[in-house]
Amino acid sequence: MRFSTKAVHVGQDAKDPTGSVFVPVYQVSTYRQAELGAQSEYVYSRTGNPTRTALERAIAHLEDGNHGLAFSSGMGAITTLLLSTLRKGDHVVAVQDLYGGTRRLFNQVMANFGVEFTYVEGINPKDFEAAIKPETKMVWLETPTNPLLKIVDIRASSNVAHDHGALCVVDNTFMSPYLQQPLALGADFVVHSTTKYLGGHSDLIGGAIVMSDDRLFDKVRFAQNAAGAVPGPWDCWLVLRGIRTLAVRMDRHCTNAAVIADYLTKHPKIAEVFYPGLSSHPQHALAQRQMKSFGGMISFRLEGDFDTCKQFLNHLKIFAVAESLGGVESLIEHPSSMTHASVPKEEREELGVTDSLIRLSAGIEDAEDLVSDLATGLDSIK
């Protein structure tokens, strides 16, 4: 079965006596046991719930993995993954251009438990090699990175991890499984914030982990139940409903982003555009190899400063100034004061997250309307 068919069908064949064509919301916490000592598939909804099982099967298939697990948020998924695979004294090498919340969890929570983190640019797989120590148990990537949309070579990085007996994790939130499948490129785990493209409608918070190795699955599955960061049935159902239209939504996100990126590169008030689909992107060839298309995220630098950005953002009517991404509606934000405000200023500058940087998530509206909205904002800059 090909991707678009799987997205509409896998996990969604409700074994329901009514013959409903989609999975119902099993809004229930516990299950009657047929008789004392009888093994039942479902016992208690922290451990398992049929709506959640449907979602977990669907996500696993979309990533071409053997096992999927759903969580109450992307951070819940990431926390559970770290808790189940690392212990005191272990070391993790991560790309520096990382989702702010992940970095905060690493540095301000996990570090208290004796796990150590080193950050590298990751554009050259040798960056990971150089940071690896005998204690290194994990290599953590996001690609494209956030917010500068650099591309990390998944196959090369997972080879480095495996050469040193470490696991490779890819946060695939920015791409969704439709555009990039890290397990096929050698990763051991894929994590998602399903809040973003998988859910796709800015109406829920959720997370997921996909893996193929049975032993790793047993560990993470155990921790999912033990730590309990599980999603409720309604949120599982909403993610599953989002997944049914993932392929068509992603196609539109990509074509809209390509039109916008092209427009921005030609505009005199824009200093620099970051989009892996541009032939001028330094890693365009790797992006073409590793991704099916280039995604819906674009960053750019305005000629100007914080006040220029404010002027521009204040004049937009269709783009909502908001954190998050991956919804049907276009969103735009100012990383240095919003998503990346928790990163210390010197580190931000080093990462290239300057006050003139803007990041946008192209929605599925009409591309011409989106371009004319941006044009209005740019015209407002004196």
Catalytic residues: 46, 99, 171, 196
Helix 100-108 vs helix 74-85: crossing angle, to nearest 10? 40
| Pick 74 or 277: Cβ nearer ligand PLP | 74
Residues that bind ligand PLP (CB under 6 A): 73-75, 99, 101-102, 142, 146, 171, 173-174, 193, 195-196, 205, 207
The closest residue (CB) to ligand PLP is: 74
Is 316 in contact with 367 (CB distance < 8 Å)?
no
Closest contact distance (angstroms) between CB of 197 and ligand PLP is 10
Cα 204 to Cα 349: distance, rounded to the nearest angstrom:
32
Closest contact distance (angstroms) between CB of 23 and ligand PLP is 22
Cα 298 to Cα 273: distance, rounded to the nearest angstrom:
7
Cα 79 to Cα 13: distance, rounded to the nearest angstrom:
31
| Pick 320 or 381: Cβ nearer ligand PLP | 320
| Pick 173 or 330: Cβ nearer ligand PLP | 173
Cα 326 to Cα 248: distance, rounded to the nearest angstrom:
13
Is 239 in contact with 199 (CB distance < 8 Å)?
yes
Q: Which ranges of the chain does DSSP label H, i.e. alpha helix?
A: 3-9, 50-62, 74-85, 100-108, 125-131, 154-163, 176-179, 214-227, 233-244, 246-265, 284-290, 306-314, 345-351, 367-379
| Pick 340 or 373: Cβ nearer ligand PLP | 340
Closest contact distance (angstroms) between CB of 157 and ligand PLP is 16
User: At 155, phi and psi to the nearest 5?
Assistant: -65, -45
Could you give the C-alpha distances from 198 to 102, 239, 314, 360, in angstroms and in order? 19, 6, 29, 18
| Pick 102 or 290: Cβ nearer ligand PLP | 102
Closest contact distance (angstroms) between CB of 146 and ligand PLP is 6
Closest contact distance (angstroms) between CB of 290 and ligand PLP is 16
User: At 363, phi and psi to the nearest 5?
Assistant: -85, -160
